[in-house]
Amino acid sequence: MLSSFTVVRDMHIQKENFLLLDIGGEVTNISMVKKNILRESISFPLGCNFLPRGVASNLKCSLNEANLWFRS
């Protein structure tokens, strides 16, 4: 998140308060920036694979088949 923070901060100099969201396959990170200082960061174990995995489980199909619902 530190590298993402640095890039966003340098690209948008006029913004000093913002949220950074990094939604990965298994983990989502949210960071709060106030007055150009990274104040807080949290992570939780729900990423973009969460919904397809639930669909695959409930419909008893493969993860690849479930991903077709979300990629189209």
Per residue of the chain (72 residues), what is the pLDDT tens digit? 777 777 887 788 788 899 999 999 899 999 999 998 889 999 999 998 898 999 999 999 998 998 887 776
From the number of C-beta atoms within 10 Å of its C-beta (0-12, 13-18, 19+), residue 35 rates as exposed
Alpha carbons 64 and 66: distance in angstroms, whole number: 5
If one counts the domains in the chain, the total is: 1
- Phi, psi angle pair for 48, to nearest 5°: -70, -10
CATH of the domain at 28: 3.30.420.40
Token pair, residue 38, equals 């990274």
Q: Is the pTM of this model over 0.95?
A: no
Range of the structural domain that residue 52 is part of: 2-71
Nearest to residue 15, comparing CAs of 7, 26, 24?
7
